[in-house]
Amino acid sequence: MNSAAEKIDGKNGYNFAFLDENAKKEIRRRILKAISIPGYQVPFGSRELPIARGWGTGGLQITLSIIGKSDILKVIDQGCDDSVNAVNIRRFIKSVTGVEMTTDTERATLVQTRHRIPEKPLTKDQVIIFQVPFPEPLRTVEPSEAETRRMHAEADYSRMWLYLYEDIVKCGEISIGARYPVFVNNRYIMDPSPIPRWDIEKLNNSECLNLFCAGREKRIYAIPPRTSVKPLEFEDFRFRIEDFKGNKCEKCGSANSYLDETIDEAAGTRHYYCSDADYCEKNLNNAVRK
Amino acid sequence: MGTDIKIARNQGTFRELMNAFARPGSLAAITPSSEGLLMDVLDVLLDHEVSFCVLGKNKESMEPEITAVTGSRTADTGSADFVIFAAGDTGDELYKVKRGSLEYPDKGATVIYYGAVLDENKKIADHSFKGPGIAAGTGFTAPGIPEGELKKLSEINSEYPLGVDTVIISENNILCIPRSSKIGVVK
């Protein structure tokens, strides 16, 4: 229980950043262990929040545990600042912290994200927090938690390699799109959350701290700055990113960003737009100025 | 919305601690409260769910004080989650600190040295660093932490991911050495 001295005038009497201070303490301790052992999944006691599990409660708990009054927060969902999940999370955090919100990637000190990394490289003064639905990359090949824990402990990843090999034999391609498994610090195989392959390279030797949390699965893990992150690949079958076949964003004209594909069923045509809404808007504004 | 001073201070101290863990070898400057920086750090990390022990001459006076402030319980060196040493030679005690298991390496303890001297302005580092979070050429100097002590830490962390994570605290600076860091000596 918090002492009276620890109470603050949060919205409707809630503690600053909603979580009680002991909950924050536990999550903070786990974050430090996660940073100390890059790629290792640290178990933690996931708390109840006023949103359903599976809708970003992991990322939310990390954000609420580290956020301070001077932070500027950006929340994105699939690169977009205005989707329902991002808007709801942003409104909730605003209501229990009062911190400034932004859609500008460069201004943000904290970025909470669902399934994308902003196109603009993040800096050493920024922290990105990933919402993770399935933290265990080996679950595809092994249903038992005890067994996957043993596999990580012994770095026994042969079944994962075999799975990738069989995928190539069956499909002529590794069929994993998002959630492509990566090797972190040459030790742990890690699930980078359902970011597209396009974003994997941004994790490698990044300047920012990357924090991952799965609220439903109760796991926290991290990639510190300047840490080796390599996608799993074979010497004769290299990892490759999405190919947009020369298409460009129809709004800003960018050919260097991850594109969302939409299909106009009535006209039978495909359209491409930047997934990163802030990146696209800045490109448009720059074009108008010129 | 007014924020309580203690909550804000704990959050600020944690962020510096988190950045220091993410960037081993970098000094995090923190303005301590009247309790001192060691107690500020302990107040961020300790509660009734974890255990600690203090080793050295101040054990009798510090342990009750830490329990009173944080609610954490004491334990012996081999089972404590946080082991607190005065900066200096710790003898063989460091070898007793728990290092976790291969299934749960996060059970390894956090070792805290207090009363160290961390000199931000000293340009020539005594110790080099390699590992996650560390820019090429990063080094550090920590007078008061004997050479042998750092060698012991290297030895304890040699079976990564087993090991301990270290926080060195001076009057107003923090330096962190997670188990993923390799410590060398600058000749």
Question: In this structure, what CATH number is given to the domain that contains residue B39?
Answer: 3.40.50.11310
pLDDT recorded at residue B183: 86
- Active-site residue (options: A58, A249, A253, A268): A249
Residue A50 burial by CB count (10 A; 0-12/13-18/19+): exposed, middle or buried? exposed
Assigned domain for B186 exists: no
Assigned domain for B134 exists: yes
Whether residue B134 and residue A226 make contact (CB cut-off 8 A), yes or no, is yes
Helix (H) or strand (E) holding A222: strand A219-223
Assigned domain for B53 exists: yes
Comparing alpha-carbon positions, the chain A residue that sits nearest to B17 is: A32
Cα distances from A9 to residues A5, A47, A51, B9, in angstroms, run 11, 21, 22, 16
Say yes or no to pLDDT of B156 above 80. yes
Sign of CA dihedral B123, B124, B126, B132: positive
pLDDT recorded at residue A38: 98
Q: Among A87, A62, A76, A69, which Cα is nearest to A111's?
A: A76
Q: Name the pLDDT band for A9 (thresholds 50, 70, 90).
A: very low
Mean pLDDT of A116-120: 97
Assigned domain for B104 exists: yes
Looking up tokens 């990566």 gives A182
Say yes or no to pLDDT of A6 above 70. no
Span A207-260, pLDDT tens digits: 999 999 999 999 999 999 999 999 999 999 999 999 998 899 999 999 999 999
Assigned domain for B163 exists: yes
Q: State both tokens at A247.
A: 């298409």
Which structural domain, as residue segments, surrounds residue B63? 5-180
Question: Mean pLDDT of all residues in chain A?
Answer: 94
Q: Say if strands B73-74 and B51-55 run parallel, antiparallel, or are unpaired.
A: parallel
Domains in chain B: how many in total? 1
Assigned domain for B147 exists: yes
Residues A152, A134 contacting (CB under 8 angstroms): no
Cα distances from A167 to residues A15, A86, A139, A211, A287, in angstroms, run 49, 34, 16, 30, 43
Q: Mark whether A54 is an active-site residue.
A: no
Q: Mark whether A274 is an active-site residue.
A: yes
Span B25-44, pLDDT tens digits: 888 999 999 999 999 999 99
Q: Mark whether A252 is an active-site residue.
A: yes
Nearest CB partner across the interface for B21, out of A24, A36, A152: A36
Assigned domain for B158 exists: yes
- The percent of residues in chain B predicted with pLDDT above 70, rounded, is 93
Which of 64-123 (B) contact A at CB < 8 A? 101-103, 105-106, 110
Q: Name beta bridge partners: A121.
A: none
Mean pLDDT of B131-143: 83
Span B140-153, pLDDT tens digits: 777 778 888 889 99
